[in-house]
Amino acid sequence: MTASLTDVEVHPDLPELSPLLHPSRLLWTPSELSDLTARVATTFASSLHSIVRYTTPDRWWARLALTEGVELWLLSWTPGQQTEPHDHGGASGSFTVLTGELAEFYRYPGGPIRSQSHARGSALGFGAGRAHQVLNLSRANAASVHAYSPPLVATREYGSLAEIPAEIPPLPAHRSLAELRKEPVEP
């Protein structure tokens, strides 16, 4: 399959993202996703700071890009904001902290619950079998760049990370960009 730049949807304030998105790549590895979010957070920091908004009580987010193989998001976190414990429905993911600091509690099926702090510039890629909860435990706002492959796979929420099943379901079937555009999903 040959893809063109018409197979890439990018945020209107970031047209320079297109060359980084490799529209012909249908599945990105956790390492490739981590490299992408780190590069976007570094290269486009000024533009991202002008786009990001900090809102309460609900978290704010904006989709930065979408191809058939990857989606890219900018999320903000005011003090105390967090996700519910969740998995990414079989998608691999990554996030890089643009500003501030984020805490993460995570678990692989059958494994212990672990925690990690992510400071500004910290990039993390993870595979499909990981569930986590991300929180802003600091007194300052934070923002982060996230990527997922395959794109727009629905997340599953849990009451706690202790409820993660013995196996995270496998990757969903590949869908076309037209189908993906019809299904906006909260990151």
Per DSSP, what are the bridge partners of residue 114? 106
- The CA–CA distances, whole Å, from 15 to 18, 61, 116, 175, 177 equal 6, 18, 33, 24, 18
**With bands split at pLDDT 50, 70 and 90, how would you rate the model's confidence at 154?**
confident
Task: Judge whether residue 1 has pLDDT over 50.
Answer: no
Question: What DSSP character marks residue 164?
Answer: -
Between CA 28 and CA 24 the distance in angstroms is 11
Closest alpha carbon to 59 in 5, 134, 1, 125: 134
Any bridge partners for residue 181, and if so which? Answer: none
Alpha carbon distance 84, 159 (integer Å): 8
pLDDT bin (cut points 50, 70, 90) of residue 184 is low
Alpha helices in the chain (DSSP H): 30-43, 45-51, 177-181
pTM as predicted: 0.88
Query: Could you read off the pLDDT of 94-113 as tens digits, one per residue?
Result: 999 999 999 999 999 989 99
Residue-wise pLDDT for 40-96, tens only, equals: 999 999 999 999 999 999 999 999 999 999 999 999 999 999 999 999 988 999 999
Domains of the chain (ranges, CATH numbers): 24-169 (2.60.120.10)
Mean pLDDT is lowest, of 26-35, 152-161, 178-187, for: 178-187
From the list 108, 28, 124, the residue with the least C-alpha distance to 68 is 28
